[in-house]
Structure 1
Amino acid sequence: MNNEILTNVLAFASVLAVFVLALVQLVKKTVNMPKNIVPLIGLVIGILVGAAAYPFTDFDLTLRLWAGGLAGLSATGLFELAFSKRDGGTKKKTNR
């Protein structure tokens, strides 16, 4: 794969991530679902948005689907990183 194509796909995924983030939040607020399937919902929404972005880019369908999938997964992680307060660490503290 050409390095220029990969750079363009990642740039397109960055643009799509904003729209995917908004749509994932809309789904989370309107539908009651378990939290552990939110990344899957983000992936599906990202792929759908990538496929629907046909008029805005000259990428073929495969590249748009890859960009949408990357946008969906990164949008979910971005929201969790920015707006979720998580205390503690990755290991449990033991009293010695």
Structure 2
Amino acid sequence: MTEILAMATLIAPVTSGVVQMLKKSDVPKNLMPYLALVVGIGLGAAAFSFTDLIFIERLWAGGISGLAAVGLFEVGKQSTKGDDE
């Protein structure tokens, strides 16, 4: 479990960056959490040369990183929103 969380921690900034790039396209905003999950899972699957985790563990790490990337962005958005008021 520790290895999965460590890998998710490493993948989350990359996932967040990819999702932010996709936000510039014409993708509906309500689909972004799902898209982040898919991107995270894809990055987890593609990270086979960087870790010795089995495939399903890499998918879990990618899914966690996708969800973490969405949560990280929302927390940042809420904290800057409070500063404007």
The gaps in structure 1 that reach 5 residues or longer are 1-5, 87-96
Question: 1:92 maps to what in 2?
Answer: none
- Trace 1:59-74 onto structure 2 (pairs within 5 A): 59-74=53-68
More helix by share: 2
- Trace 1:13-32 onto structure 2 (pairs within 5 A): 13-29=8-24, 31-32=25-26
In 1, distance between residues paired with 2:13 and 2:6? 12
For the pair shown, which has the larger CA radius of gyration, 1 or 2? 1
Structure with bigger RCO (C-alpha 8 Å, 6+ apart)? 2
TM-score, normalised to structure 1, is 0.79
Number of aligned residue pairs: give it. Answer: 81
TM-score, normalised to structure 2, is 0.89
The gaps in structure 2 that reach 5 residues or longer are none
Note the aligned Cα RMSD (angstroms): 1.5
